[in-house]
Amino acid sequence: MWNYNIPVKIFQGEKILSEKKELLNSFGKNALLVTGRNSAKLSGVLDDLLKILKEYKIQFYIFDRVEENPSYDTVEMGAALFDEHDFDFVIAIGGGSPIDAGKAIAALGTYYKHDAYLFNESDDIYKNTLPIIAIPTTSGSGSEITPYSILTNRENKKKGIQSNRLFPTVAFLDPRYTTTLNESLTISTGLDALTHSIEGELKNNGTNPVIKSLSLKSTTMIKGNLTDIQKKLSSIKFRKDLQEASAMAGIVISHFGTTIIHSAGYPLSSFKKVKHGIANSVFFIDVLERISQTEEKRVLNAIEPFVSLQELKNFFINLDIDKYKFDLSDEEIQKWSEELVISQKRKKTPGEFDLEFYKSLYNKIRK
């Protein structure tokens, strides 16, 4: 039994915003733009977008305060703008951080109380979520396609929220907007997409043929593109491949979510400022090897077109992922490992894991 549900209109192409500009005019006359400090300007989205908004006399407010791993505070600050503005829709521009924040603000801003802790208490909070238009400037999180928003609470813990109302209404994919990503951001975001593709398929295990096809295509494109990238960084074909691979991987996790690999990486991002894609990648092979001990076929299916774990491991080694080491204390390792033992994702991840295994994961990446 399987289902497929992605209620996001996806438009892809160079200059797609101006091609489809009349669509932007169909959401109302007052837009809230949510973005990071630089990405909207640097990528060229803001220039293109403001021309269109001005042409159609759509009023706009730019909230450009979103940090990496967006916090509850930031989302509440964005939501508070609704007390003074009558927004009709939200345009989220950037990587996963601004898009996740934009989604959460589109929900919390329309709720009577702008308290992000309420996300965990009531589904009512999503009832009046404004339409969200997502314009990605990284190729990694897939947030432009998913029903998730990953936020950081005041205890510095990453908390994912999920609702069908958080699916963007429209996603505009223009590969030109990702050409300003440097080599290291291109790799870390590309690896996030790779982990989505494989983690989602680990859970699917071929049952949903649409998801299997998307995972296979996405992993194939990332495998083919994410080597020797220095020469390719300004190539539109390269950027288009990664952007499409990331979107496909986003569809995969929209159906199956991620695994304990993502959960293990969260504290590295929250407490050690490690890029999200790198935080997943440092544990990737070890967790897959562990799952392989009991479910080898499942792992071999999920990593296709890689034919063996060794081939996938070599791919990560070529990207120097094995070189990442971090200052971790005994207390941090103990605490984070205990949290993984009770994590919801653990129950949904195939394979057998215990406290000692999680501790060994963190010990391996210790300086």
- List interacting residues with ligand NAP (CB under 6 A): 36-39, 42-43, 68-69, 94-98, 100, 137-138, 140-143, 146, 148-150, 177-178, 180-181, 185, 189, 192, 276-277
Least distance in Å: CB of 191 to ligand NAP? 10
Query: CA torsion sign, 257 to 258 to 263 to 266?
Result: negative
170-173 and 9-12 as β-strands: parallel, antiparallel, unpaired? parallel
Residue 192 lies near Fe ion (rule: CB under 5 A) = yes
- The answer to whether 186 and 137 are in contact (CB under 8 A) is no
Kindly state the smallest distance separating residue 196's Cβ from Fe ion, in Å.
Answer: 6
In the complex, the smallest distance separating the C-beta of residue 354 from ligand NAP, rounded to whole angstroms, is: 26
Comparison of 178 and 301: residue with beta carbon closer to ligand NAP: 178
**Which does residue 259 touch among Fe ion, ligand NAP, none (CB within 5 to 8 A, set by kind)?**
none
Q: Contact 90/105 with Cβ under 8 angstroms?
A: yes
Instruction: Fill in the DSSP letter of residue 323.
Output: G
State CA 121 to chain mean position distance.
23
CB of 93 to ligand NAP, least distance (A): 9
Q: Which stretch binds Fe ion (CB under 5 A): 187-195, 227-235, 296-304, 325-333?
A: 187-195
CB neighbour list of residue 353: distance below 8 Å, 6 or more residues apart: 260, 290, 340, 341, 346
Interacting partner of 93 out of Fe ion, ligand NAP, none (Cβ under 5 to 8 A depending on kind): none
**Cα gap 200→204, rounded to integer Å:** 6
From Fe ion, ligand NAP, none, interface partner of 337 (C-beta below 5 to 8 A by class): none
Contact partner at residue 68 from ligand NAP, Fe ion, none, CB < 5 to 8 Å by partner kind: ligand NAP
**Partner from Fe ion, ligand NAP, none binding residue 146, C-beta < 5-8 Å depending on class:** ligand NAP
Cβ count within 10 A of residue 12? 14
> Would you say 144 or 192 has its CB closer to Fe ion?
192
By beta-carbon proximity to Fe ion, the closer residue of 266 and 315 is 266
Q: What are phi and psi of 90, to 5 degrees?
A: -120, 135
Residue 100 sits in the site that holds Fe ion (CB under 5 A):
no
Q: Compute the 3-state secondary structure of the chain and give helix, strand, coil in percent, each to the nearest 5.
A: 55, 15, 30
List alpha helices for 170-228, DSSP H: 183-204, 209-225
* Minimum distance, C-beta of residue 324 to Fe ion, in the bound complex (Å): 17
Least distance from C-beta 80 to Fe ion, angstroms? 28
Q: Which does 300 bind (CB under 5 to 8 A by kind): ligand NAP, Fe ion, none?
A: none
110, 124 contact by CB (below 8 A): no
Which residues are at the interface with Fe ion (CB under 5 A)? 192
